[in-house]
């Protein structure tokens, strides 16, 4: 009888347990709902398809809006075992929940036109603040809380599916708040900080959690709404099966997943990986929480060093000037060496916007952006090294790449002492980092203000300031008075573009800038708008400031205007003269080129076309020396930007590219376009070429 009663009670208990929710399902004291995710195994990442090549084997034809398009960092696809169940919040952390931890965060509600309600996903939270919230919650609840690992996040998002999204290979209509998938940088600098479509449709920016289709495990908003912080440092995948992976030991970025309300739909795929600097705080970024202890797995080490980091001579370069009386010229030599059909992290489709510097050991470093499409989220920064004494540049290496962010306008600069500075601009952050070992290792990146594209090469003023020209609409440069520790700027109204008047910003953009001996700033730049160009008689605008950039006197220079695909450069030489380099004609009107007049060694004149240099010995008032930058010789074709070519001869030089200039301590002048490297000295610039046909 007793045995029968015990059996009956056990059967009732078992039936009740079968009907009860799993032990990991619960609602905590601040209203966060959690569901239990079972242990299991899944295939992490996505193999393809990749974009198609054109007939030249170079360009990629697939539109960037294809949802099934995998990124290079999602490979290799590998088996991942999640060894034990964990509990994860069904939604992202909301404003009301987060503000119980940090009431002051309420000031961010509605900023950039998003997330104003109690039940909307919290935004403007950086990684450290998200971690601090989990620690506060752990103490409050007497239960361990943390951010999910990247593997846990993808496992939970997939919920047993192998399709692009947990809803299949498409997202249901209305699931994603992004209105269009055309383009990736749609007017992010509009008044609201959002694309124009959103300024008229504020209802589309409601980030209320839990209203989209949940996945099979009951999780909402795993595709879109806000990008979500993960625990891991970002780094490349390793092949082979992994058990409870926790990412890398260190890195530049913390992983983010899921995409945001203003991301392309393909960036919302279950496999897609993103990453942000830990101090990033944006209207696109929030988080969700896991309940449970962190797996005891050891993190992976950082990836092996790249080519530019290996075999670097750390001995200081002997400073021995070359013969100042002997003309010297080398070039053009290709420095952008990206293999054909490269599809991440280097891309063979589009490589442009270079910067160039000498290292303390005498090496040269060149950086530039590499991408498929210039506005694309795949854009990263590549680097190449020319070791001191070498004749050939090394092959390109990946250098800086914030995942799923357009890393634009790279700049690199040597302070003349021991430190290299690297600057870059992206959709979410402008950053600076430094190196004191000739570019082998770099400090953690720091965000700097204001957000926007850096204009041209940095330089140090006579006061000791570091000045970086800037292309934001309301300022001309950013400035540091403490060797890059802090940065400031003058926010001003847009310039009126009128010639020969005092303007509030220098004219044009991509301005090259130097400081004159009397302390004034001189800038020469580019204006693409034909109406504005007409004001300067189709000449490069010249801007001079006597008050450290607060106001500018704007006029037309004596140099022809340049257009898209071209950028001038200017430096002060160690010998004292100003060197300005540009192009004789606008690239877009090359078929109607007019050229410039140059003098030859016989006292005659000839027309030349393309890349040229000009020297001023009176602080930019006059430029009596002009020279076409070419080694001369018979007509032949030379590689140009991307997969183009130009004709090189006695009277023809390179026709386009973004010019970068530096002068090494031995007085050699180095010039890079968007493909080629030239080296020469002041004696060569001053030495007129023989008449055409007599060289």
- The structure tokens 């919230």 sit at 133
pLDDT-derived band of residue 321, with 50, 70 and 90 as boundaries?
Answer: confident
pLDDT at residue 288 tops 80: yes
Give residue 652's pLDDT: 97
| Dist CA 57 CA 410 (whole Å) | 27
| Dist CA 526 CA 568 (whole Å) | 8
pLDDT-derived band of residue 278, with 50, 70 and 90 as boundaries?
Answer: very high
Cα–Cα–Cα angle for 413, 656, 184, rounded to 5 degrees: 75
Give residue 573's pLDDT: 97
Residues 21-44 have pLDDT tens digits of 456 799 999 999 999 999 999 999
More confident residue, 32 or 13: 32
The dihedrals phi and psi of 2, each to the nearest 5 degrees, come to -60, -40
pLDDT-derived band of residue 495, with 50, 70 and 90 as boundaries?
Answer: very low
- The structure tokens 């060289």 sit at 695
| Dist CA 668 CA 600 (whole Å) | 23
pLDDT at residue 402 tops 50: yes
**Residues with Cβ < 8 Å from 643, sequence gap 6 or more?**
56, 58, 59
Query: How many other CB atoms are there within 10 angstroms of residue 491's CB atom?
Result: 9
Residues 425-446 have pLDDT tens digits of 876 678 999 999 999 999 999 9
The dihedrals phi and psi of 289, each to the nearest 5 degrees, come to -120, 145
Give residue 498's pLDDT: 42
Residues 197-243 have pLDDT tens digits of 333 333 447 899 999 899 999 999 999 999 999 999 999 999 999 99
Whether a cis peptide bond, with omega within 30° of 0, leads into 468 is: no
| Dist CA 230 CA 253 (whole Å) | 11
Give residue 23's pLDDT: 63
Identify whether the C-beta of residue 371 lies closer than 8 Å to the C-beta of residue 72. Answer: no
Give residue 343's pLDDT: 86
Cα–Cα–Cα angle for 219, 222, 228, rounded to 5 degrees: 115
Give residue 472's pLDDT: 76
pLDDT at residue 456 tops 70: yes
Average pLDDT over residues 287-315: 96
Give residue 317's pLDDT: 84
0.85 cut: is pTM over it?
yes
- The DSSP secondary-structure symbol of 307 reads G
Give residue 50's pLDDT: 58
pLDDT at residue 530 tops 70: no
Q: Percent of the chain scored above 90 by pLDDT?
A: 71
Helix (H, G, I), strand (E, B) or coil at 120: strand
Name the least confident of 137-141, 331-335, 500-504.
500-504
Mean of all residue pLDDT scores within the chain:
87
Give residue 578's pLDDT: 98
Name the least confident of 142-151, 223-232, 311-320, 577-586.
311-320
Average pLDDT over residues 391-417: 95
> Could you write out the three-class secondary structure of 150-191?
HHHHHHHHHCCCCCCECCECCCCCCCCCCCCCCCCCCCCCCC
pLDDT-derived band of residue 164, with 50, 70 and 90 as boundaries?
Answer: very high
Identify whether the C-beta of residue 193 lies closer than 8 Å to the C-beta of residue 283. Answer: yes
pLDDT-derived band of residue 506, with 50, 70 and 90 as boundaries?
Answer: confident
Helix (H, G, I), strand (E, B) or coil at 467: strand
Helix (H) or strand (E) holding 140: helix 127-141
pLDDT at residue 193 tops 80: no
- The DSSP secondary-structure symbol of 13 reads H
Tokens of 166: 């947990």
**Residues with Cβ < 8 Å from 370, sequence gap 6 or more?**
338, 345, 346, 347, 350, 351, 379, 380, 381, 382, 396
Residues 350-382 have pLDDT tens digits of 999 999 999 999 999 999 999 988 888 899 999
Q: Percent of the chain scored above 70 by pLDDT?
A: 86
Q: Domains of the chain (ranges plus CATH)?
A: 23-291 (3.90.1580.10)
Average pLDDT over residues 572-581: 97
pLDDT-derived band of residue 658, with 50, 70 and 90 as boundaries?
Answer: very high
pLDDT-derived band of residue 93, with 50, 70 and 90 as boundaries?
Answer: very high
Pairing status of strand 657-658 against strand 566-567:
parallel
More confident residue, 285 or 507: 285
Average pLDDT over residues 128-135: 98
């Amino acid at each position: 009888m007793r045995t029968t009663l015990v059996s009956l009670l056990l059967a009732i208990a078992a039936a009740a347990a079968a009907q009860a929710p799993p032990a990991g399902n619960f609602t905590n004291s601040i209203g966060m709902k959690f569901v239990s995710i079972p242990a299991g195994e899944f295939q992490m990442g996505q193999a393809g398809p990749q974009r198609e090549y054109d007939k030249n084997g170079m360009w990629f034809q697939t539109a960037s809006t294809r949802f099934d398009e995998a990124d290079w960092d999602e490979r290799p696809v590998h088996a991942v075992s999640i060894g034990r169940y964990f509990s994860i919040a069904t939604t992202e952390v909301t404003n009301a929940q987060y503000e119980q931890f940090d009431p002051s965060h309420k000031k961010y509600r509605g900023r950039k036109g998003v997330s104003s309600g109690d039940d909307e996903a919290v935004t403007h939270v950086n990684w450290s603040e998200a971690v601090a919230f989990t620690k506060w919650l752990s103490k409050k609840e007497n239960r361990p809380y943390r951010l999910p690992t990247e593997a846990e996040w993808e496992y939970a998002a997939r919920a047993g599916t192998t399709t692009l999204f947990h809803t299949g290979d498409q997202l249901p209509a209305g699931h994603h708040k992004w209105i269009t998938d055309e383009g990736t940088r749609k007017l992010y600098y509009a008044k609201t900080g959002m694309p124009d479509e959103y300024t008229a449709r504020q209802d589309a920016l409601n980030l209320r959690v839990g209203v989209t289709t949940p996945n099979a495990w009951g999780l909402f908003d795993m595709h879109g709404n806000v990008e979500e912080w993960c625990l891991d440092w970002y780094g490349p995948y390793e092949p082979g099966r992994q058990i409870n992976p926790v990412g890398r030991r260190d890195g530049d970025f913390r992983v983010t997943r899921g995409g945001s309300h203003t991301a392309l739909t393909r960036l919302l795929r279950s496999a897609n990986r993103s990453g942000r600097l830990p101090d990033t705080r944006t209207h696109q970024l929030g988080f969700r929480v896991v309940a449970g202890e962190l797996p005891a797995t050891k993190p992976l080490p950082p990836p092996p060093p790249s080519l530019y980091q290996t075999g670097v001579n750390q001995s200081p370069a002997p400073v021995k000037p070359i013969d100042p009386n002997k003309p010297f010229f080398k070039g053009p030599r290709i420095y952008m060496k990206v293999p054909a059909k490269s599809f991440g992290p280097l891309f063979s489709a589009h490589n442009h916007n270079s910067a160039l510097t000498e290292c303390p050991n005498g090496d040269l470093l060149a950086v530039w952006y590499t991408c498929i499409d210039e506005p694309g989220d795949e854009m990263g920064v590549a680097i190449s090294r020319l070791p001191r004494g070498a004749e050939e540049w090394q092959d390109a290496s990946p250098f800086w790449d914030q995942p799923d962010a357009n890393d634009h306008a790279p700049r690199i600069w040597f302070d003349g002492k021991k430190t290299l500075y690297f600057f870059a601009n992206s959709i979410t952050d402008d950053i600076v980092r430094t190196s004191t070992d000739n570019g082998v290792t770099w400090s953690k990146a720091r965000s700097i203000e204001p957000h926007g594209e850096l204009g041209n090469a940095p330089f140090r003023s006579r006061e000791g300031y570091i000045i970086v020209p800037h292309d934001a609409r309301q300022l001309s440069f950013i400035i540091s008075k403490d060797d890059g520790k802090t940065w400031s700027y003058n926010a001003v109204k847009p310039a009126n573009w009128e010639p020969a008047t005092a303007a509030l910003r220098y004219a044009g953009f991509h301005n090259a800038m130097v400081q004159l001996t009397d302390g004034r700033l001189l800038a020469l730049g580019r204006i693409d708008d034909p109406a504005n160009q007409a004001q300067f008689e189709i000449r490069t605008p010249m801007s001079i400031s006597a008050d450290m950039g607060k106001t500018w006197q704007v006029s037309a220079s004596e140099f022809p205007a340049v257009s898209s695909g071209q950028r001038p450069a200017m430096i002060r030489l160690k010998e004292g003269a100003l060197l300005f380099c540009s192009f004789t004609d606008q690239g877009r009107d090359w078929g109607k080129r007019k050229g410039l007049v140059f003098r030859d060694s016989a006292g005659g004149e000839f027309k030349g076309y393309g890349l040229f240099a000009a020297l001023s010995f009176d602080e930019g008032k006059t430029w009596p020396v002009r020279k076409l930058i070419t080694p001369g010789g018979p007509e032949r074709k030379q590689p140009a930007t991307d997969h183009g070519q130009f004709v090189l001869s006695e009277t023809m030089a390179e026709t386009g590219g973004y010019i970068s200039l530096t002068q090494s301590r031995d007085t050699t002048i180095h010039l890079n376009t968007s493909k080629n490297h030239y080296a020469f000295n002041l004696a060569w610039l001053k030495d007129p070429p023989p008449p055409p046909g007599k060289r």
